[in-house]
Structure 1
Amino acid sequence: MKPNHGRDWMVHSKGSDNIEAIEAYFAGHAYDLHRHDTYAIGQTFAGVQSFRYRGARRDNLPGSVMVLHPDELHDGHAGSEQGFLYRMVYIEPALIQQVLPGQSLPFIPGGISQDSRLINATHALLGTFDSPLESLEKADALYDLALALNAVSGAATPCGALDYAAAERAREFIHHNLDRAVTVEQLSAHANRDRWGLSRDFRQVFGTSPHRYLIMRRLDRVKQALIGGQTLVEASLTAGFYDQSHMSRHFIQAFGLSANRWKKMISQTI
């Protein structure tokens, strides 16, 4: 995050799927009353973010998540002399509806939640502001966020007919394309299934998301390459990662230790 010196600033990002995101710091007053036709979902990383919402003042602190419902009036200002630093993502309700077809849009009373499911799902979208998510990774994040919103709002988990054949076609496509970027459009087209239906199918059949499955198969390749004597850079590229740092981030998340440490430990037993 950018440092602050008592001056307001904002960084704006708009990627695919018409998902807009901002990172900003405000020392005092931030916004007059206004409203969006999107969900506004975010986290405060420093200070206190205060706002009026549905007739009451709300104070969002680090560790919570804000979920402002579409078309609800709200404003914004610093709730302490420190100012506040935050990130926010704006998501069209239509994207949520694609995951929760035909259900009422999830509503979070009070506009603030400390539910870990929602915090984790939000962080997946906001935590990598400086490095755009891969296509499948973003689809995972949106899917998880929609389900978290639905669960925290108290609604029933959506369900539908399971298409095992589509999930298996997607799995085979992943195995044949480990060394290249796989987009959600390519995967759903090959599986002949809409992307959200495919995401549900894949998780039910194989116990994890398409993106997670892809990453783990690439990490399998990394391990074999390291055992075969390749360097971390060589193993990363061989396995289909963008670079070593991309691979290292996922390796630690998957196994709890760095690839370099794993290689050193394995080399002592070979």
Structure 2
Amino acid sequence: MFNHPSEFVTFKASPHLPGVELYSARLVDHAFAPHLHDGYSLGAIEAGVERFRYRGSEHLAPAGTLVLLNPDELHTGQAEVESGWTYQMLYIEPATLLRMTGSEAWFPAAATHDPALAGAFRTGFSRLWHAPDDLAFVSTFTQLVDTIVARHGRNARAVQAADPRSLRRMAAMRRVVDCIEAHLDQPLGIETLAAEAGMSLFHFVRTFSATFHVTPHQYLQARRTARAKALLGRRVTPSDAAAAAGMTDQSHLNRWFKRAYGVTPAQYQQQIGTRPLAAARA
């Protein structure tokens, strides 16, 4: 699966709390293409150093660093040192975190060196992975995430409002991303998206890229891959997920999914227990 013998990627859907997915990985040669997650990505670097690009900036995350990414934010990932990096993550749907904390959390810093909390994260993550029941899982999860949010999060509603010009630009970009989301399974032309923004082609590409730190095409492919991941989690076959996400075929989905998440669609479903029944696949 990977070029380096020590590399691995493992997903686990929580059977105890809907909207939570656990992820553990060690990577050396593999580099993640720009991709995103529908929910929050909260994790800790156990060993090595990761380099990743997020919101237009490069970040280095050595051991002892918390990685705290907000929903729907494109990012990359690769090793900064020859030994690679080992890390664990929690992927949390926004509705689950909102129900838990009672507010819309926002993490202003993508990489925060906090060795004590990173160590607590690794301990808590191990307990979550092996939790025997709902009581053990939810108790550990609540304590761990509450600590992270209290120490490094902010209420999204408290983020200072942008100036009027920026608000107009963001409104235009919101129309574009809503259009993309509504038509992921269909061909999308640059003219359509530029018209949605009310801009010329080149002005639209420049504005979109400045706002999201990726090109419109990179964003579209990331959203399609994320749509396929969500469908795979609901036991949809890889071929049907590819069609529903606007991929040309299953091979197209395989290539993009592996680049984004480190595993193939079939491997992901095997790990989280959502492989379609044999009769359905037939």
TM-score, normalised on structure 2?
0.47
Rg: which structure is higher?
1
- Higher relative contact order, structure no. (Cα contacts within 8 Å, ≥ 6 residues apart): 2
